[in-house]
Structure 1
Amino acid sequence: MRSIPEIGTTFPIIGNAHQLKTKSGEFFNQIVELTTEYYTLPLFKIWIGTIPFVILFHHETVESILNNPIHMEKAYAYTFLHPWLGTGLLTSTGKKWRQRRKMLTPTFHFSILTDFMEVMNEQSEILVEKLQNKAGKEVFDCYPYVTLCALDIICETAMGKKIYAQSNYESEYVKCVYKMSDIVSRRQRLPWYWPDLLYYSIGDGKEHDKMLKVLHSFTQKVIKERAENISNSESDSETDLKKRRAFLDMLLKTTDEEGNSMSHQDIQEEVDTFMFEGHDTTAASMNWILHLVGSHPEVQRKVHQELDEVFGTSDRPVNTEDLKKMRYLECVIKEGLRLYPSVPFFGRTICQDTTIRGFKVLKGSNIIIVTYALHRDPRYFPEPEEFKPERFLPQNSIGRPAYAYVPFSAGLRNCIGQRFALMEEKVVLSSVFRRFTVEACQKHEELHPVGELILRPEKGIWIKLEMRTK
């Protein structure tokens, strides 16, 4: 049995932390560079504090973990999300996770997701109106526009609450969502902030709790209001509830096999999780795709051609039949997620001693799966840095290992909302490309991807728009 190769020099208490970059963008680039340097190895190990982190970035090693029901527990770093998200679907484990996943799965059935298309179309139309003011004018950063659109969509579909983020980007709730993500990410990579005593005395502890109060107060208020509306048939008719049904409404009515309903605390965990996972991820993906398509005129021509075939000259909203016909746009989205996966790495805890490709990995070790590097394996993605949507045409996907491409994770703990995300991206992106021609105004080397909880461009996505003539 071989020992796992270790990177650099380790010291007591801090491990390799002294060698790791502290800025998020630099830390992410350092990990990616290590996966390139040690590509011929099946895995390697770094120590952050007293915890060993085993780095995986080949499909063979990734599958051995994600496809194993024993290693279901999330990595230690996820505990820093507990104050915000509790132990909802993202962070829970064991019996609670299995029970919660079973209860929530029906709420993501395709027939229910189609009810949300009205919201997606409405918010996409608002986005298009905002972008029309930029068309034919100066270069601008589209990142905040697309992100606020995604936030409006998730707020209304998850909570049934309009927050008008696209019109009120100074919203306190909007600011706190972003600030909280940054605070958590920073703590995860700096082990001297892991103990609460140090975190609250010299770290971001006080700011963390300030953000937490705003976020929880908002969702608590919304849950209380929706619960009262559902129980009061006079204030909300059954027809109105069906028309604007939200995930929250379904959670308030959900019961397990024994007839037990979810408490308001249980529901808040899941609503906060939807808000965290369900807007920044899709927003990042759509922004990267706008850059990629705007950098490849031939791809954009094919996107326009497909959309013209589906919609003609009509400005009608997107429907479910349209979604099925957007085959090339789906390839574009998948290739965008290959190059710039919204979650650039994620982690698990090894729950019993195991062997990976002849290396012994001890119970308690943390596994970090580097999606960004996994998706650039030249064995399955020749010319891995090139943007080629045709890779995902059915005939070109034959023989590609399932675990070589995991933008939504894989195995039992795959992302429950991946169909929702793909639907949203098709609706929003098709709305934009039906109206505009996009020109990217940054070179590849100017993007500087920052890998925190979400993979973002350091300085936004700068584009120029022109109205399409039909």
Structure 2
Amino acid sequence: MDSASAAHAFLADTFDRLKPVVADAATPTALATAGAVVFATWIGTKLYRMFVPPQHLRKYPHASPIKIIRTLLQRKGYLEQRSILFEAMRDDALRLGVIKSREETPSIYLTWFIGRWQVVVVNPTDMKNLLTKHETFEKKRLDAGYLFKFLGNNIALAQTPEWKQQRKVVNPAFRRGWATSLFGTPARQLIKQLDTVAASGAIMDPADWMQRMTLDALTLSAFGTNFDSINNPNAPMVAIYNSIMSEVLDVSKLLNPFYKLNKDGKRARDLIDAFDKYIFDLIDAKTAEIAAKRAAGGAVSDSEDNDARDLLTLMIEAIQGSDFTREDLRANTITFFVAGHDTTANALSFALYLLGMHPEIQEKARQEVIDVVGDIERGTPAEDVPYPTSEQERLLTYLSCVIKEVMRLYPSVTLVPQRFTTAPVALSDGTSLPIGTLVSGDIYSMHHSKQVWGPDADDFKPDRFLSSVGPDGEIPMHPGASNFMWTPFGGGQRICLGQQFSLVEQRVVLSMLLLRYKWTVVGDENALKGNPGTLPGGLLHSAGLQVKLTRRDA
């Protein structure tokens, strides 16, 4: 009998025992006592179902809910928090005999979040099914705190029927080429600032600079306007956006049932309302501009520079004749903020960290860039630092291997967002999951699993991907190329919309930095030992990294 059935049986038995008490009750005290017992039983049943895994899943290891709650409330950095909870789960796996040593990673485990148990897969077979069978593993609406208010019901989060409608409008706008100038221009502004840092001998934290640079590239690509956060890091809209991201991804606050009623919740709501006004004003202005061009009989678009056109314009043009709403435009623009900015900034920060820790790999990547793009002359002004053309960017084979290995070791999205089963599902170990089971995938753990990647799974070795170079010289970046062992962008038809945008941006920015600087990691002992600091939250943000830059052309 599973936990729910046991709880119902226990409750029925309690009512049977209470019947004579209620029937013979002659005083209010007896009735109150009976009521208290019923209430306590009801509460006990709820707690039992909340904290004890269902019977058919108890063979899977897990950290206790109390351990999870206590760890989340401590607001430790993501990797530190994960280490604590994963080791607790490993203790249980050893107790159950699921693994034989701490070097092993369970291929399936359980985790607990806000009163629900979910199955977490850590192997390529189940990960592939989870990501590709989207009608069986349906997306669960993210409605914790103000996360849904901010993200909205966009193409990345919508359930299958609505997703099929939205993709007709959104996919063509997202899945196109991206002009390298969209990234080279803000990267030159970044280099201008970093030249000052390098000249002073100061230490830089990559996270702050990469967040600002990618935000500028994102707003240029999404709206055709630039936040210019590199030069104005405290601009109002930059501060609002960064504060929103900090709020909506803070899991410790989401555990608070009164979050929406307290001052933090009110602050988050006000910030989102202010950001929404900015986005809606952009949508309205862009819509009016396109309508005016149509009314004047002018060309709305120019196919020759389509790769350089902003996302919002393309989506507004695509919705003509559809039932796509102003709110849909806003929601899909917001998801591009997260998919195309935050995750890319994180990947670039960890790339600088790993290349700074491995100077021989940094130099190998630099030589490839010089061979493809050409070197820079002594004293080249920041505004003249070359960036690769679209054709050159595709020839950066080894740099692509570096990027792929960085995203293996430090995937920005560490867990597949929750799904629920819409039909009975059999896992790779033969376990049958009933309808309504919550399922996720642990990307970070699978990327570090020695059973999946071999004994060097934790090592930074870009060369491991050289064997997959295609006849065109490009490194395949889709999960099928690695048999779903590598899934930082997800997979299947619902793969991350910002994937190509992110990859092009990473190649452009890293190639420019490699031409301009050499760098090393300094300072923090943990980072120097291979344990970089990270922020709390659902995305993998580096924190406190210290990098020292030296100009190559000085």
> What amino acid sits opposite 1:337 in the alignment?
M
2:458 is aligned with 1:385: yes
| 1:376 matched residue in structure 2 | 448
TM-score (norm: length of structure 2): 0.76
Cα-to-partner distance string for 1:54-101 (whole Å, 9 max, x where unaligned):
222121222232222323432454555220121001211121111212
CA contact (8 A) 2:408 2:488 kept: yes
Mapped to 2, the partners of 1:24 and 1:182 lie a distance apart of 14
Cα-to-partner distance string for 1:370-428 (whole Å, 9 max, x where unaligned):
11111012234231111100111135999975211101011222112211110011111
Mapped to 2, the partners of 1:34 and 1:78 lie a distance apart of 28
Q: Which has the larger radius of gyration?
A: 2
2:89 is aligned with 1:48: no
2:72 to 21, 25, 28: 21
| 1:294 matched residue in structure 2 | 356
State the Cα distance separating 1:24 from its structure 2 match: 4.9
1:352 to 414, 423, 426: 423
> What amino acid sits opposite 2:268 in the alignment?
H
CA contact (8 A) 2:123 2:452 kept: no
2:511 is aligned with 1:448: no
The aligned runs of 1:213-228 (5 Å cut-off) are: 213-228=273-288
Mapped to 1, the partners of 2:296 and 2:88 lie a distance apart of 59
Mapped to 2, the partners of 1:192 and 1:76 lie a distance apart of 19
2:532 is aligned with 1:467: no
Cα-to-partner distance string for 1:419-441 (whole Å, 9 max, x where unaligned):
11100111111111111111112
> What amino acid sits opposite 2:423 in the alignment?
Q
The aligned runs of 1:4-403 (5 Å cut-off) are: 4=58, 5=60, 7-9=62-64, 18-22=69-73, 23-25=75-77, 26-34=80-88, 38=93, 39=104, 41-75=106-140, 77=142, 80=145, 81-110=147-176, 113-114=177-178, 116-136=179-199, 137-187=201-251, 190-193=254-257, 198-202=258-262, 204-233=264-293, 238=299, 245-255=309-319, 259-260=321-322, 262-314=324-376, 315-347=385-417, 348-356=419-427, 357-382=429-454, 383-395=456-468, 401-403=482-484
Mapped to 2, the partners of 1:446 and 1:43 lie a distance apart of 25
TM-score (norm: length of structure 1): 0.88
Alpha-carbon distance change, 409 to 24 in structure 1, aligned in 2, over 3 angstroms = farther
145-154 vs 66-75, greater mean Cα deviation: 66-75
State the Cα distance separating 1:312 from its structure 2 match: 2.0
Percent identity between the two aligned chains: 23
Alpha-carbon distance change, 235 to 33 in structure 1, aligned in 2, over 3 angstroms = farther
> What amino acid sits opposite 2:449 in the alignment?
D
Mapped to 2, the partners of 1:203 and 1:77 lie a distance apart of 22
Gaps of 5+ in 2: 1-54, 94-103, 377-384, 470-474
Give the aligned CA root-mean-square deviation in angstroms.
2.8
Gaps of 5+ in 1: none
Secondary structure of 2:549's aligned partner:
strand
Which stretches of structure 1, 4 residues or longer, exceed 6 Å deviation after superposition? Answer: 234-237, 239-242, 396-400
2:425 is aligned with 1:425: no
State the Cα distance separating 1:330 from its structure 2 match: 0.4
Secondary structure of 2:411's aligned partner:
coil
> What amino acid sits opposite 1:99 in the alignment?
Q
Mapped to 1, the partners of 2:364 and 2:89 lie a distance apart of 34
Secondary structure of 1:404's aligned partner:
coil
CA contact (8 A) 1:181 1:453 kept: no
279-288 vs 91-100, greater mean Cα deviation: 91-100
State the Cα distance separating 1:262 from its structure 2 match: 2.5
2:486 to 405, 408, 413: 405
CA contact (8 A) 2:221 2:311 kept: yes
Secondary structure of 2:218's aligned partner:
helix
Mapped to 2, the partners of 1:169 and 1:241 lie a distance apart of 33
How many pairs were matched up? 456
Mapped to 1, the partners of 2:120 and 2:88 lie a distance apart of 10
Mapped to 2, the partners of 1:184 and 1:344 lie a distance apart of 17
Secondary structure of 2:250's aligned partner:
helix
State the Cα distance separating 1:462 from its structure 2 match: 1.4
> What amino acid sits opposite 2:62 in the alignment?
I
Secondary structure of 1:250's aligned partner:
helix
Mapped to 1, the partners of 2:253 and 2:124 lie a distance apart of 25
